[in-house]
A and B are shown apart, each in its own frame.
Chain A
Amino acid sequence: GENVEQHPSTLSVQEGDSAVIKCTYSDSASNYFPWYKQELGKGPQLIIDIRSNVGEKKDQRIAVTLNKTAKHFSLHITETQPEDSAVYFCAATTLFPLGTDKLIFGTGTRLQVFP
C-alpha cells in the first residue's frame, strides 16, 4: 500500500521568510496530492492540491510542486505570516474510479512563524 513520508517534523521561520515542507510517496498509482492545514482543536483544512498531470500549482503565497519520477512533492509558503503557524499535512491517494480516494497522510509538520 501507499506510504507517505514528510519532513521536517518541525519548522520555525521568521515572519516574511519562506517555508518549504517536503513529502515522498511510494505508490506510483497515486495521482492526487492535497495539502491540509490544521489549527489546534480544528479539523484539517485543504489549502492546495495537485493532480499528477501537472508539475506545479500556485495560489497566492502558497505553491505545490510535484516530481512524479522521484515520487516527491513539496509545499512552498512565501512571505510567511504569524497566522500561517499550524500543523501541515501532506497526503496522497489514487482517485476514483481507479482508487477509492482514501487519503494516506504524512506525519505532519508543525510550522511556527515568529513575528
Chain B
Amino acid sequence: GAGVSQSPSNKVTEKGKDVELRCDPISGHTALYWYRQSLGQGLEFLIYFQGNSAPDKSGLPSDRFSAERTGGSVSTLTIQRTQQEDSAVYLCASSFIWVGTSGIRSDEQYFGPGTRLTVT
C-alpha cells in the first residue's frame, strides 16, 4: 500500500516568511511523529501526535514552530518567521498502536521522504 507522503519535497523561502509542511501518514496509523534532520544536530524529535492530540511537544525548538493534525490523518508543521537555522530536512513518520491480549502495543515507525527546507 501507499507509504507516508510529504509535501512539498523541496521548499526555498526567504528569512522571515512562514512555511507549512504537510504529512500524509499511512492510512489507519494512529500515531504521527515529526523529526528534523540537519547537519549540525542529526535526527531530532520534534512532536508526537496520538490521534489529533499532541501529548509530547518537547522537541519543538521555539514558539515559532507549531503543528496540528486533523481527522486523525493529515498533519501540518508550521514554521513562522523562518530563520536560516531552520534549514533542514523535516521528516514525518507514522505508526499503528493497537490493543492486544498482552496489552497496548505500538508498531514500527515508517518514515516519509522528507521536505528539504532552505531558508535564504
Contact = CB atoms under 8 A, between A and B. Distances in A.
A39 to B, nearest CB: 11
**B interface: dominant SS:** strand
A105 B43 contact: yes
Interface string A9-30: 0000000000000000000000
Interface of B: 4, 31, 33, 35, 42-45, 48, 50, 55-56, 58-59, 91, 93, 95, 97, 103-106, 108-114
**A interface: dominant SS:** loop
Nearest to B105: A95
Contacts, number: 62
- Closest 9 pairs between A and B when the two form their complex, measured CB to CB: A43-B111, A105-B43, A100-B56, A102-B45, A96-B106, A43-B113, A44-B111, A100-B48, A97-B104
